Amino acid sequence: MRNSATLSSASVPLDSALKRDLHPTVLITIMIGGALGALLRELFAFWFTGTATTAFPLGILIANLSGAFLLGLFATWLDGLVRHHHFRSFWEIGFVRSFTTMSTLSLQSIVLIEAGAWGVFVPYIALSVIGGLILFWSGERLGVSIAKASVAKADRVRVEQEL
Q: pLDDT value at position 158?
A: 64
Q: pLDDT value at position 83?
A: 65
CB atoms within 10 A of CB 89: 25
Contact indicator for 75, 143 with CB cutoff of 8 Å:
yes
Contacts of 111 (CB under 8 A, 6+ apart): 53, 54
**CA gyration radius for the chain?**
19
Give the DSSP letter of residue 55. Answer: S
Q: What are phi and psi of 36, to 5 degrees?
A: -70, -40
Q: Give per-residue burial for 113-134: e unless 16+ CB within 10 Å, then b.
A: eeeebeebbeebeeebeeebee
Q: pLDDT value at position 19?
A: 60
Contacts of 92 (CB under 8 A, 6+ apart): 17, 71, 74, 75, 79
CA 17, 23, 26: angle at the middle one, nearest 5? 55
Q: pLDDT value at position 74?
A: 84
pLDDT tens-place values along the chain, 163 residues long: 444 444 444 444 445 545 666 788 889 999 999 999 999 999 999 999 888 777 899 999 999 999 999 999 888 877 666 667 788 888 888 999 899 988 889 999 999 999 999 999 999 999 999 999 999 999 999 988 888 887 777 666 666 666 6
Q: Give per-residue burial for 22-51: e unless 16+ CB within 10 Å, then b.
A: eeeebeebbeebbebbbebbeebbeebbee
Sign (positive/negative) of CA torsion 61, 66, 69, 72?
Answer: negative
